Amino acid sequence: ASFQDNSYMKTFLAYDMMEFMGVPAPLCSYVRVTVNGEEWGLFLAVEEPEEAFVRRCFGENGGMLYKPDYRSLNDENADVALRYTGDSYDLYDNIFRNAKFSVPDEAKDRLIGALRILDSGENLEEAVNVDEVLRYFTVQVFVMNWDSYLGRTGHNYFLYEEDGILSILPWDYNLAFGTYMLGASESIDDPEILINYPIDTPAPGEVMTRRPLYHNLMKEDEYFARYHEYFEEFLTGYFDSGYFEAKLAQTAAMIRPYVQADATAFCSYEDHALAVETLRQVCLLRAESAGKQLAGEIPSTIAGQQKYPEARVEVEGIHLEDLGDFEDLERKNPE
């Protein structure tokens, strides 16, 4: 449960944030695992999105569920990015081969038709569950997870299609809250840049313009304004209300004795306690920055922040690597 997450809580909190904003998210629960009396440690059991998940979230007669992913990151992977490139089924192999159910041709036609509309940038509500997608991106942008649709990898999400309408669903957050960037090929290790990362351009232009589910929606003034409204709703309800700090403290207290006894942990208990406090500070500073970006006090674009870096929320004493990184695995399994 603690691989690259010394707090044990990044995934747990990310799903809680998604659920708070009304986004269908996997259920999860902490579990203490023993095998034949041998302690295996503390884990986070996460619901696998499949048939039971679809029934729970969308009803008995739900639609199709996919987990788009690439064979090689060096490929074009336009289908993983949800870009329309033609009508041939073969062009969308990274989607269809990762379907959770058998995919009839009519379902393939519906999905490709939805991508065609998305590519056009017109009548988007005929192809996209706009409300759900905007709520998803509100949280996705907040948690700074670039091993995702908005990152260079472009994956780690589920795609739900029903009656030709697309929704994006959350998955895999152990590298959220800025930690993916610590080991990325084009790494950013300045926590002030990451915690203040702009909410309106949450990826470099060469990435963002090739992610139509975000980019084409945000080009519409109505949807862009609604995105900001949802961001304000999220910050007010999740942070200003005190909910976040109470949730974090309650969860930390619940898992504390199990972390202390976890012989399989990738970190010491002291590292865990430091990570919990770091996660608290990162989230509160991120909320402060996002709120000021919405208010126009901090630029909400990459270009704007590069021009006025002094406007950013000051970040002192925060080390994102304290949340966990690959060095923890190397220390756990030295050669």
pLDDT of residue 335: 47
- Collapse the DSSP code of 96 into the 3-class scheme (helix H, G, I; strand E, B; otherwise coil) and give the result: helix
Average pLDDT estimate for 98-123: 98
The angle at the Cα of 74, spanning 72 to 78, to the nearest 5 degrees, equals 85
Which pairing describes strands 64-66 and 38-46: parallel, antiparallel, or unpaired?
unpaired
Give the rounded percent of residues in the chain with a pLDDT score beyond 70. 94
Q: What is the mean pLDDT of the chain?
A: 93
Average pLDDT estimate for 47-68: 95
pLDDT of residue 255: 97
pLDDT of residue 179: 85
pLDDT of residue 181: 65
Does residue 220 surpass a pLDDT of 60? yes
pTM over 0.85: yes
Neighbour order of strands in the sheet with 157-162: 64-66, 157-162, 165-170
- Give CA–CA dist 184/146, Å, rounded: 9
pLDDT one-digit tens code per residue, 240-272: 999 999 999 999 999 999 999 988 888 899 999
pLDDT of residue 2: 61
Q: Tell which wins on pLDDT, 174 or 329.
A: 174
Q: Which residue blocks in the chain are alpha helix, DSSP H?
A: 10-20, 51-58, 93-96, 105-120, 130-142, 180-183, 191-195, 205-208, 212-218, 221-234, 243-260, 269-294, 302-307, 326-332
* 44 beta partners: 30
User: Residue 100 corresponds to which amino acid?
Assistant: K
Does residue 26 surpass a pLDDT of 90? yes
User: Residue 9 corresponds to which amino acid?
Assistant: M
Does residue 130 surpass a pLDDT of 60? yes
DSSP for 99-161, written as a single string: BSS---HHHHHHHHHHHHHHHHTSSGGGTB-HHHHHHHHHHHHHTT--SSTTSSS--SEEEEE
User: Residue 139 corresponds to which amino acid?
Assistant: V
For the chain, the first-to-last Cα distance in angstroms comes to 22
178 secondary structure, DSSP code: T
- Collapse the DSSP code of 170 into the 3-class scheme (helix H, G, I; strand E, B; otherwise coil) and give the result: strand
322 secondary structure, DSSP code: G
